[in-house]
Amino acid sequence: MNKKMIAIILLVAAVLVVLVFLGLRRGGAPISINKGKITSASALISQAKESESKGELAQAKALYLELINEFPNSGDVMNWQRKLENINIKMLFSGADIPKSAVYEIKPGDTLAKIAKEFKTTVELIKKSNNLSEDKIMPGRKIRVYTAPFSILVDKSQNILILKSEEEVYKTYIVSTGANNSTPVGTFKIMNKLANPTWFKAGAVVPASSPENVLGTRWLGFNLSGYGIHGTIEPESLGRQVTQGCVRMSNPEVEELYVIVPVGTEVTIVD
Protein backbone atom coordinates (compact mmCIF):
# COMPACT_ATOMS: atom_id res chain seq x y z
CA MET A 1 0.00 0.00 0.00
CA ASN A 2 1.56 3.34 -1.08
CA LYS A 3 1.86 6.47 1.05
CA LYS A 4 -0.92 8.26 -0.85
CA MET A 5 -3.42 5.47 -0.11
CA ILE A 6 -2.42 5.41 3.56
CA ALA A 7 -2.91 9.17 3.77
CA ILE A 8 -6.40 8.89 2.24
CA ILE A 9 -7.40 6.15 4.69
CA LEU A 10 -6.13 8.19 7.65
CA LEU A 11 -8.02 11.26 6.41
CA VAL A 12 -11.28 9.30 6.07
CA ALA A 13 -10.79 7.83 9.53
CA ALA A 14 -10.23 11.29 10.97
CA VAL A 15 -13.39 12.61 9.33
CA LEU A 16 -15.41 9.72 10.75
CA VAL A 17 -14.04 10.37 14.23
CA VAL A 18 -15.03 14.04 13.98
CA LEU A 19 -18.52 13.14 12.78
CA VAL A 20 -19.02 10.72 15.66
CA PHE A 21 -17.74 13.33 18.12
CA LEU A 22 -20.09 15.97 16.76
CA GLY A 23 -22.98 13.52 16.89
CA LEU A 24 -22.26 12.73 20.52
CA ARG A 25 -21.91 16.45 21.34
CA ARG A 26 -25.31 17.18 19.83
CA GLY A 27 -26.90 14.60 22.09
CA GLY A 28 -30.22 14.60 20.26
CA ALA A 29 -28.73 13.54 16.92
CA PRO A 30 -26.37 10.60 17.43
CA ILE A 31 -24.49 9.07 14.52
CA SER A 32 -23.88 5.39 13.79
CA ILE A 33 -21.16 4.01 11.52
CA ASN A 34 -21.77 0.52 10.17
CA LYS A 35 -19.53 -0.90 7.43
CA GLY A 36 -18.47 2.60 6.46
CA LYS A 37 -22.06 3.87 6.23
CA ILE A 38 -22.80 6.94 8.34
CA THR A 39 -26.32 7.00 9.77
CA SER A 40 -27.86 9.96 11.58
CA ALA A 41 -30.67 9.32 14.04
CA SER A 42 -32.32 12.62 13.15
CA ALA A 43 -32.33 11.72 9.46
CA LEU A 44 -33.90 8.32 10.18
CA ILE A 45 -36.54 9.91 12.43
CA SER A 46 -37.48 12.37 9.69
CA GLN A 47 -37.73 9.56 7.14
CA ALA A 48 -39.84 7.43 9.50
CA LYS A 49 -42.27 10.29 10.21
CA GLU A 50 -42.56 11.10 6.51
CA SER A 51 -43.22 7.45 5.62
CA GLU A 52 -45.85 7.17 8.34
CA SER A 53 -47.59 10.38 7.20
CA LYS A 54 -47.75 8.97 3.66
CA GLY A 55 -49.24 5.70 4.91
CA GLU A 56 -46.08 3.78 4.02
CA LEU A 57 -46.29 1.80 7.22
CA ALA A 58 -43.93 -1.05 6.29
CA GLN A 59 -41.20 1.47 5.46
CA ALA A 60 -41.86 3.41 8.68
CA LYS A 61 -41.64 0.20 10.69
CA ALA A 62 -38.32 -0.72 9.06
CA LEU A 63 -36.91 2.73 9.87
CA TYR A 64 -37.97 2.58 13.54
CA LEU A 65 -36.40 -0.88 13.77
CA GLU A 66 -33.19 0.54 12.31
CA LEU A 67 -33.25 3.35 14.88
CA ILE A 68 -33.65 0.88 17.75
CA ASN A 69 -30.89 -1.39 16.45
CA GLU A 70 -28.44 1.38 15.57
CA PHE A 71 -28.97 3.55 18.65
CA PRO A 72 -29.88 1.16 21.51
CA ASN A 73 -28.54 3.55 24.16
CA SER A 74 -30.59 6.54 23.06
CA GLY A 75 -33.06 8.02 25.50
CA ASP A 76 -35.66 7.86 22.73
CA VAL A 77 -35.58 4.07 22.31
CA MET A 78 -38.80 3.50 24.27
CA ASN A 79 -40.58 6.14 22.21
CA TRP A 80 -39.39 4.51 18.98
CA GLN A 81 -40.53 1.12 20.27
CA ARG A 82 -44.01 2.48 21.05
CA LYS A 83 -44.26 3.98 17.58
CA LEU A 84 -43.18 0.68 16.03
CA GLU A 85 -45.78 -1.25 18.07
CA ASN A 86 -48.55 1.17 17.13
CA ILE A 87 -47.60 0.70 13.48
CA ASN A 88 -47.84 -3.08 14.00
CA ILE A 89 -51.46 -2.69 15.08
CA LYS A 90 -52.28 -0.25 12.27
CA MET A 91 -50.88 -2.66 9.71
CA LEU A 92 -52.69 -5.62 11.23
CA PHE A 93 -56.04 -3.80 11.22
CA SER A 94 -55.57 -2.30 7.77
CA GLY A 95 -55.51 -5.61 5.91
CA ALA A 96 -52.16 -4.68 4.36
CA ASP A 97 -49.94 -7.27 2.73
CA ILE A 98 -47.80 -8.06 5.77
CA PRO A 99 -45.67 -11.03 6.79
CA LYS A 100 -47.57 -13.88 8.47
CA SER A 101 -50.74 -13.15 6.53
CA ALA A 102 -52.37 -14.80 3.54
CA VAL A 103 -55.05 -14.07 0.96
CA TYR A 104 -57.99 -16.44 1.23
CA GLU A 105 -60.75 -16.84 -1.36
CA ILE A 106 -64.13 -17.42 0.23
CA LYS A 107 -65.70 -20.73 -0.77
CA PRO A 108 -69.37 -21.75 -0.87
CA GLY A 109 -70.49 -22.75 2.61
CA ASP A 110 -67.83 -20.66 4.35
CA THR A 111 -68.67 -18.50 7.34
CA LEU A 112 -66.45 -16.04 9.15
CA ALA A 113 -66.49 -18.31 12.20
CA LYS A 114 -65.38 -21.28 10.09
CA ILE A 115 -62.55 -19.28 8.47
CA ALA A 116 -61.45 -17.87 11.82
CA LYS A 117 -61.32 -21.36 13.34
CA GLU A 118 -59.34 -22.72 10.37
CA PHE A 119 -56.69 -20.02 10.67
CA LYS A 120 -56.83 -19.79 14.49
CA THR A 121 -57.76 -16.13 14.45
CA THR A 122 -60.89 -14.17 15.36
CA VAL A 123 -64.01 -13.15 13.47
CA GLU A 124 -63.47 -9.62 14.77
CA LEU A 125 -59.95 -9.40 13.31
CA ILE A 126 -61.07 -10.73 9.92
CA LYS A 127 -63.87 -8.16 9.81
CA LYS A 128 -61.69 -5.27 10.94
CA SER A 129 -58.76 -6.02 8.65
CA ASN A 130 -61.04 -6.46 5.63
CA ASN A 131 -63.40 -3.58 6.40
CA LEU A 132 -66.40 -5.88 6.71
CA SER A 133 -69.42 -4.33 8.40
CA GLU A 134 -71.43 -7.55 8.72
CA ASP A 135 -70.95 -11.30 9.07
CA LYS A 136 -72.44 -12.07 5.67
CA ILE A 137 -69.77 -13.03 3.10
CA MET A 138 -69.95 -13.93 -0.58
CA PRO A 139 -68.11 -16.83 -2.29
CA GLY A 140 -65.34 -15.69 -4.60
CA ARG A 141 -64.34 -12.67 -2.55
CA LYS A 142 -60.72 -12.57 -1.44
CA ILE A 143 -59.88 -11.54 2.09
CA ARG A 144 -56.64 -11.20 4.02
CA VAL A 145 -56.21 -13.43 7.07
CA TYR A 146 -53.46 -13.30 9.69
CA THR A 147 -51.99 -16.78 10.00
CA ALA A 148 -49.39 -16.71 12.80
CA PRO A 149 -50.39 -17.51 16.39
CA PHE A 150 -50.40 -14.82 19.05
CA SER A 151 -49.38 -15.35 22.66
CA ILE A 152 -49.43 -13.18 25.77
CA LEU A 153 -46.78 -12.62 28.44
CA VAL A 154 -47.70 -10.81 31.68
CA ASP A 155 -44.82 -9.54 33.81
CA LYS A 156 -46.13 -8.79 37.30
CA SER A 157 -42.96 -7.03 38.45
CA GLN A 158 -43.37 -4.40 35.73
CA ASN A 159 -47.16 -4.56 35.40
CA ILE A 160 -46.95 -4.98 31.65
CA LEU A 161 -48.69 -7.27 29.19
CA ILE A 162 -46.75 -8.17 26.05
CA LEU A 163 -48.61 -9.34 22.97
CA LYS A 164 -46.33 -11.53 20.87
CA SER A 165 -46.67 -12.95 17.38
CA GLU A 166 -44.41 -15.97 17.46
CA GLU A 167 -41.18 -14.37 18.80
CA GLU A 168 -41.94 -10.81 17.70
CA VAL A 169 -43.06 -8.31 20.33
CA TYR A 170 -46.19 -6.93 18.70
CA LYS A 171 -47.34 -4.51 21.37
CA THR A 172 -46.76 -3.76 25.05
CA TYR A 173 -49.58 -2.63 27.35
CA ILE A 174 -49.54 -1.16 30.87
CA VAL A 175 -51.77 -3.26 33.16
CA SER A 176 -52.62 -3.77 36.80
CA THR A 177 -52.09 -7.12 38.53
CA GLY A 178 -53.14 -8.58 41.86
CA ALA A 179 -52.59 -6.94 45.21
CA ASN A 180 -50.44 -8.97 47.62
CA ASN A 181 -49.06 -10.95 44.68
CA SER A 182 -52.48 -12.59 44.15
CA THR A 183 -52.22 -12.97 40.37
CA PRO A 184 -51.29 -16.62 39.75
CA VAL A 185 -48.01 -17.47 38.03
CA GLY A 186 -47.92 -20.06 35.27
CA THR A 187 -49.10 -20.77 31.76
CA PHE A 188 -52.82 -20.61 31.03
CA LYS A 189 -55.15 -20.43 28.06
CA ILE A 190 -57.96 -18.06 27.19
CA MET A 191 -61.06 -20.23 27.37
CA ASN A 192 -63.86 -17.70 26.90
CA LYS A 193 -64.35 -14.15 25.67
CA LEU A 194 -67.20 -11.80 26.54
CA ALA A 195 -68.06 -8.33 25.29
CA ASN A 196 -69.67 -6.08 27.92
CA PRO A 197 -69.57 -8.78 30.60
CA THR A 198 -71.85 -9.02 33.60
CA TRP A 199 -69.97 -9.08 36.91
CA PHE A 200 -71.11 -11.82 39.25
CA LYS A 201 -69.77 -10.79 42.64
CA ALA A 202 -70.61 -12.27 46.02
CA GLY A 203 -74.26 -11.61 46.75
CA ALA A 204 -74.94 -9.46 43.69
CA VAL A 205 -75.14 -9.37 39.92
CA VAL A 206 -73.72 -6.18 38.40
CA PRO A 207 -74.86 -5.61 34.80
CA ALA A 208 -72.53 -4.41 32.07
CA SER A 209 -74.24 -1.01 32.00
CA SER A 210 -73.48 -0.32 35.66
CA PRO A 211 -70.70 2.18 36.44
CA GLU A 212 -69.78 -0.15 39.31
CA ASN A 213 -68.95 -3.08 37.00
CA VAL A 214 -65.19 -3.50 37.61
CA LEU A 215 -64.78 -5.77 34.55
CA GLY A 216 -65.03 -2.87 32.13
CA THR A 217 -65.97 -3.57 28.53
CA ARG A 218 -64.29 -6.93 27.85
CA TRP A 219 -63.49 -10.23 29.58
CA LEU A 220 -60.98 -12.87 28.46
CA GLY A 221 -61.26 -15.74 30.92
CA PHE A 222 -58.48 -18.22 31.72
CA ASN A 223 -58.73 -21.95 32.21
CA LEU A 224 -58.45 -21.12 35.90
CA SER A 225 -61.84 -20.28 37.34
CA GLY A 226 -62.32 -16.66 38.34
CA TYR A 227 -59.19 -15.33 36.65
CA GLY A 228 -58.74 -13.50 33.39
CA ILE A 229 -57.93 -10.28 31.59
CA HIS A 230 -60.53 -7.52 31.67
CA GLY A 231 -61.16 -3.79 31.36
CA THR A 232 -61.52 -1.31 34.18
CA ILE A 233 -63.55 1.54 35.63
CA GLU A 234 -60.37 2.84 37.33
CA PRO A 235 -57.84 3.57 34.57
CA GLU A 236 -55.82 5.67 37.01
CA SER A 237 -54.88 2.45 38.85
CA LEU A 238 -53.06 0.93 35.87
CA GLY A 239 -49.39 0.16 36.44
CA ARG A 240 -49.93 -0.99 40.04
CA GLN A 241 -50.70 -4.23 41.87
CA VAL A 242 -54.24 -3.48 43.03
CA THR A 243 -56.63 -6.09 41.63
CA GLN A 244 -58.13 -9.17 43.27
CA GLY A 245 -55.93 -11.35 41.05
CA CYS A 246 -57.01 -10.63 37.49
CA VAL A 247 -55.07 -8.66 34.90
CA ARG A 248 -56.68 -5.28 34.36
CA MET A 249 -56.31 -3.13 31.21
CA SER A 250 -57.77 0.15 30.00
CA ASN A 251 -61.03 -0.38 28.14
CA PRO A 252 -59.75 0.78 24.71
CA GLU A 253 -56.71 -1.49 25.00
CA VAL A 254 -58.59 -4.57 26.19
CA GLU A 255 -61.02 -4.03 23.31
CA GLU A 256 -58.04 -3.99 20.94
CA LEU A 257 -56.64 -7.18 22.46
CA TYR A 258 -60.09 -8.81 22.30
CA VAL A 259 -60.17 -8.30 18.53
CA ILE A 260 -56.72 -9.85 18.04
CA VAL A 261 -56.48 -12.95 20.23
CA PRO A 262 -58.74 -16.00 19.81
CA VAL A 263 -59.94 -18.53 22.35
CA GLY A 264 -57.06 -20.92 22.98
CA THR A 265 -54.39 -18.20 23.11
CA GLU A 266 -51.61 -19.04 25.55
CA VAL A 267 -51.04 -16.64 28.46
CA THR A 268 -47.85 -16.88 30.50
CA ILE A 269 -47.65 -14.94 33.79
CA VAL A 270 -44.31 -14.41 35.54
CA ASP A 271 -43.25 -12.66 38.73
**What is the pLDDT at residue 38?**
53
**What is the pLDDT at residue 18?**
43
In this structure, the answer to whether residues 174 and 262 fall within a common structural domain is: yes
* Domain assignment of residue 235, given as a range: 150-270
Catalytic residue among 156, 171, 193, 230: 230
In this structure, the answer to whether residues 142 and 166 fall within a common structural domain is: no
In this structure, the answer to whether residues 184 and 77 fall within a common structural domain is: no
In this structure, the answer to whether residues 168 and 261 fall within a common structural domain is: yes
In this structure, the answer to whether residues 140 and 154 fall within a common structural domain is: no
**What is the pLDDT at residue 10?**
46
Alpha-carbon distance of 93 to 75, in angstroms, equals 30
**What is the pLDDT at residue 4?**
55
> Domain of 198: which CATH number?
2.40.440.10
In this structure, the answer to whether residues 79 and 28 fall within a common structural domain is: yes
In this structure, the answer to whether residues 128 and 183 fall within a common structural domain is: no
Is 54 in the active site?
Answer: no
In this structure, the answer to whether residues 246 and 160 fall within a common structural domain is: yes
In this structure, the answer to whether residues 162 and 210 fall within a common structural domain is: yes
- Cβ pair 230, 197 in contact under 8 A: yes
**What is the pLDDT at residue 201?**
83
> Domain of 129: which CATH number?
3.10.350.10
- Pairing mode, strands 150-155 and 266-270: parallel
What tens-digit pLDDT sequence spans the chain (271 residues)?
A: 565 555 444 444 444 444 444 444 344 456 554 544 557 899 999 999 999 999 999 999 999 999 999 999 999 999 999 999 999 999 999 999 999 999 999 999 999 999 999 999 999 999 999 999 999 999 999 999 999 999 999 999 999 999 999 999 999 999 999 999 999 999 999 999 999 999 998 778 999 989 999 999 999 999 999 999 999 999 999 999 999 999 999 999 999 999 999 999 999 999 9
- Looking at the structure of the chain, the number of domains it has is 3
Is 246 in the active site?
Answer: yes
CA neighbor of 154 nearest in space, from 247, 264, 36, 58: 247
In this structure, the answer to whether residues 29 and 131 fall within a common structural domain is: no
Catalytic residue among 152, 163, 175, 246: 246
In this structure, the answer to whether residues 59 and 8 fall within a common structural domain is: yes
